[in-house]
Amino acid sequence: MKYYKTHTLGCKVNTYETQAICKILEENGFSESINNQCDLIIINTCAVTLTSERKSRQKIRSLKKEYPNAVIFVMGCYS
């Protein structure tokens, strides 16, 4: 079994996109991680304001540090 986590920053469109990706992942054998086991991390970023850009960068760095062996997929406005 492969596990994923998501983190969404920004607008309702980003939230919808993240939900759609979760559905696709689950249809292809992934399960949402409920513990620290994680193979894939999806970060849906925002860049509407300088604050949202900073939060996107911080989230990418922190998840990369927390899950060094996971594949991190960055998407959204900031990417």
Distance CA 73, CA 71 (A): 6
Write down the pLDDT at residue 36. 87
| Mean pLDDT, range 23-51, rounded to an integer | 95
Please list, in sequence order, all residues whose beta carbon lies within 8 angstroms of the beta carbon of residue 69, skipping any fewer than 6 positions away: none
Write down the pLDDT at residue 20. 98
- Report whether pLDDT(72) > 90: yes
Q: How many domains does the chain have?
A: 1
β-bridge mates for residue 5, sequence order: 41
Q: What confidence tens digit (pLDDT) does each residue in 16-34 have?
A: 999 999 999 999 999 999 8
Domain harbouring 15, CATH code: 3.40.50
Count of helices and strands (H, E) across the chain: 2, 4
Tell me, rounded to whole angstroms, the distance of Cα 59 from its chain centroid. 9
Structural domain for 16, as ranges: 2-76
